[in-house]
């Protein structure tokens, strides 16, 4: 049958794509000799499910459609508890039982390692959370052009869903954010229009230390908090300080740049200090508005514990921490090795790492602000070959040049902490010619209800 515009059909979900949406294939009879293949992306579906969809312009090769009815449901399908789930782009798997999410993440890690020729039996079951809700210690909300505070709509970056709740953020963080949203509406303040490049309020960043309870609120705006805004700013400061004693940092951050990023050209402290304190494994860290710190503190601590367990640091050893950030891994390891060198390209993170080491009474560290490859060369020249090397690169991975430089340095043990299994697998493949063997891979779920999964892995130099 030849399909027309807006045709309704029933199809089966074959697999999931990299964003967690279902994929299906429909063969279209167009009246020609061979049928045409139509590839469908169907969010909020699970493998094996039969769903009814309506496809506009089915003559195209690929279409993205929402399911109209789940005809045959996956046995692990559950009702998503968040009222924003259908539209919000923050979570993609709230409709999937948590145990099923964990199995999928384990299988994904195995699949990418198998593609590179590694033994998948080395991959352990993904470590999940006892309570996979309210786990995030940092959220960034966006103002719509009419001043509503909310979250980006799935697949439509310019549409903002008005905020009622967020089930993956800390509850006190959400309450504070909703107070800011109410303040903006009470004063009839406009949000930033990305097309016209006008308006006042852009983003609200909320971060909280689950260890100390301290909260930071950072309001990004296109003007300074003065002149016609003085009365509104005084009201904001009074509301927050009176209602939320745990807010230790209330910031107004000027951002006039066209780029849609949470950056600051000029930072104003409305109340408290310009940072908050956080803690992990007994070590204290200072966090500024732009400090990178793991957003799931419960599972981040598990990452550090696993890295220590696999790395087996010794007092007689030297160690390099590559992509060290503010020292999340550096400080616990530095307390257990003779000497540690941390390398990170972001200078503000290196300054924070130095300060964090000093705050915790650690004096056997050397932190260098340089890109990974050149930083390794400089450290090796003055430091010598380390017995242990840890790397925690960004999602893009370390890259072949850096991995080959690590291989030539020949540390006895390498602990790789990954936030992207795909780049992790290609990175460690680079170490095989240098005599390294993969010993263990432990996936850890830091982002329940999303596709993301972290890994901690150990590689050892043969002989």
Give the relative orientation of helices 400-409 and 372-383 as an angle to the nearest 10 degrees. Answer: 10
For residue 388, what are the contacts with CB-CB under 8 A and spacing of at least 6? 311, 313, 317, 318, 319, 320, 333, 337, 411, 412, 413, 414, 415
Phi, psi of 372, rounded to the nearest 5 degrees: -55, -50
Model confidence at 40: pLDDT above 60? yes
Of the candidate CATH numbers 3.40.50.150, 1.20.120.1230, 3.40.50.620, 1.10.340.30, the domain formed by 103-130+294-461 belongs to 3.40.50.150
**β-pair type (50-55, 201-208):** unpaired
pLDDT exceeds cutoff 60 at 3: no
Q: What is the pLDDT of residue 154?
A: 78
DSSP 301-360: HHHHHHHHHHH---TT-EEEEET-TTTTTHHHHHTTSSEEEEEES-HHHHHHHHHHHHHT
Mean pLDDT of 115-125: 98
Q: What angle do CA 8, 9, 10 make, to 5 degrees?
A: 145
Say which residue the tokens 């000027």 belong to: 254
Rounded-to-integer distance, Cα 461 and Cα 442, Å: 19
Residue extents of the structural domains in the chain: 7-72, 103-130+294-461, 138-280
List C-alpha distances in Å: 424 to 118, 125, 342, 403, 442.
12, 17, 20, 11, 12
Distance (Å, rounded) from C-alpha 356 to C-alpha 338?
A: 18
- pLDDT category, 196, cuts 50, 70, 90? confident
Mean predicted confidence (pLDDT) in 4-28: 90
Please give the average per-residue pLDDT across 269-289, as a whole number. 95
The average pLDDT across 186-200 equals 92
Confidence of residue 2 (pLDDT cuts 50, 70, 90): very low
Comparing 307 with 59, which gets the higher pLDDT? 307
Evaluate whether 207 touches 138 at the Cβ level (below 8 Å): yes
- The pLDDT tens digits of the residues spanning 85-104 come to 988 878 999 999 999 999 99
Rounded Cα distance, 41 and 35, in Å: 19
- Give 428: exposed, middle or buried? Use CB within 10 Å, 0-12, 13-18, 19+: buried
pLDDT of residue 5: 65
Q: Residue range 220-235: average pLDDT?
A: 96
Instruction: Name which of 183, 194, 280 is nearest 233 in CA terms.
Output: 183
Q: Closest Cα to residue 323, out of 288, 353, 355?
A: 353
What is the distance in angstroms between the CA of the first residue and the CA of the last residue of the chain? 66
Does residue 419 carry a catalytic annotation? yes
Mean pLDDT computed over every residue of the chain: 94
CA distance 166 to 163: 8
Nearest CA to 212 out of 315, 120, 284, 127 is that of: 284
CATH class of 7-72: mainly beta
Look up residue 144 and give its DSSP letter: -
Strands 365-369 and 388-391: unpaired
Which has the minimum average pLDDT: 128-132, 163-167, 308-312, 325-329? Answer: 163-167
Residue 406 has pLDDT above 90, yes or no: yes
What distance in Å separates the CA atoms of residue 252 and residue 274, rounded to the nearest whole number? 10
Neighbouring-strand partners of residue 11: 51
**C-beta of residue 215 within 8 angstroms of C-beta of residue 247:** yes
pLDDT top residue among 291 and 129? 129
pLDDT at residue number 1:
39
- For the segment 38-67, the average pLDDT, to the nearest whole number, is 92
At 261 the pLDDT is 73
Q: Which two tokens stand for residue 353?
A: 């790492």
How far apart CA 188 and CA 182 sit, in angstroms, is 10
Q: Whole-prediction pTM value?
A: 0.91
Instruction: State residue 460's pLDDT score.
Output: 98
Best CA proximity match to 439, nearest among 411, 461, 454: 461
pLDDT (tens digit, 9 = 90+) per residue, 335-392? 999 999 999 999 999 999 999 999 999 999 999 999 999 999 999 999 899 999 999 9
Between 151 and 213, the higher pLDDT residue: 213
Strand (E) or helix (H) holding 69: strand 69-72
Q: Tell me the CATH architecture of domain 138-280.
A: Beta Barrel (2.40)
CA–chain centroid gap for 37, Å, is 35
Residue 159: its pLDDT value, please? 82
Residue 4: which pLDDT band, with cuts at 50, 70 and 90? low
Same fold across 7-72 and 138-280: yes
Check 88, 166, 324, 419 and give the catalytic one. Answer: 419
Cα separations (Å) of 68 from 97, 180, 389, 446? 21, 36, 51, 31
Residues in Cβ contact with 421 at an 8 Å cutoff, skipping those fewer than 6 apart: 108, 109, 112, 113, 443, 453, 455
């Amino acid at each position: 049958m030849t399909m027309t515009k807006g045709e309704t059909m029933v199809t089966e979900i074959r697999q999931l794509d990299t964003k967690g949406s279902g994929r299906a294939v429909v063969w279209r009879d167009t009246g020609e000799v061979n049928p045409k293949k139509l590839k469908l992306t169907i969010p909020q579906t699970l493998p094996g499910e039969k769903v009814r969809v309506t496809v506009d312009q089915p003559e195209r090769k690929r279409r993205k459609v929402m399911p109209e009815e789940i005809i045959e449901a996956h046995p692990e399908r559950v009702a998503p508890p968040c009222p924003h789930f259908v539209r919000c782009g923050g979570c993609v798997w709230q409709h999937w039982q948590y145990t099923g999410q964990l199995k999928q993440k384990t299988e994904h890690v195995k699949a990418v390692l198998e593609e590179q020729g590694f033994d998948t039996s080395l991959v352990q079951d993904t470590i999940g959370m006892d309570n996979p809700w309210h786990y995030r210690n940092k959220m960034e909300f966006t103002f719509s052009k009419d001043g509503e505070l909310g979250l980006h709509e799935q697949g439509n970056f310019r549409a903002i869903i008005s905020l009622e709740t967020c089930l993956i953020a800390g509850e006190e963080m959400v309450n504070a954010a909703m107070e800011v949203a109410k303040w903006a509406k009470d004063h009839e303040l406009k949000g930033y229009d990305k097309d016209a490049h006008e308006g006042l309020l852009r983003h609200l960043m909320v971060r909280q230390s689950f260890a100390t309870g301290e909260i930071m609120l950072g309001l990004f705006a296109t003007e300074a908090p003065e002149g016609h805004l003085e009365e509104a700013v005084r009201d904001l400061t009074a509301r927050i300080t009176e209602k939320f004693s745990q807010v230790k940092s209330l910031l107004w951050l000027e951002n006039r740049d066209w780029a849609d990023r949470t950056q600051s050209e000029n930072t104003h402290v409305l109340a408290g200090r310009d940072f908050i304190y956080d803690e992990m494994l007994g070590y204290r860290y200072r966090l500024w508005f732009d400090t990178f710190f793991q957003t799931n503190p419960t599972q981040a601590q598990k990452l550090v514990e696993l890295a220590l367990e696999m790395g087996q640091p010794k007092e007689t050893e030297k160690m390099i921490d590559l992509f060290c950030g503010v020292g999340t891994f550096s400080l616990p390891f530095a307390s257990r090795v003779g000497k540690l060198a941390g390398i990170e390209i972001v200078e503000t993170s290196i300054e924070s790492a130095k300060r964090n080491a000093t705050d915790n009474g650690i004096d056997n560290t050397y932190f260098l602000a340089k890109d990974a490859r050149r930083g390794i060369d400089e450290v090796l020249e003055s430091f010598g070959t380390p017995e242990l090397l840890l790397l925690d690169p960004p999602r893009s991975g370390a890259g072949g040049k850096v991995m080959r430089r690590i291989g030539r340095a020949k540390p006895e043990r390498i602990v790789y902490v990954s936030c992207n299994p795909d780049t992790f697998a290609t990175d460690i493949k680079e170490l095989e010619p240098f005599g390294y063997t993969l010993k263990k891979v432990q996936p850890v779920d830091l982002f329940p209800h999303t596709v993301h999964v972290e890994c901690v892995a150990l590689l050892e130099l043969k002989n």
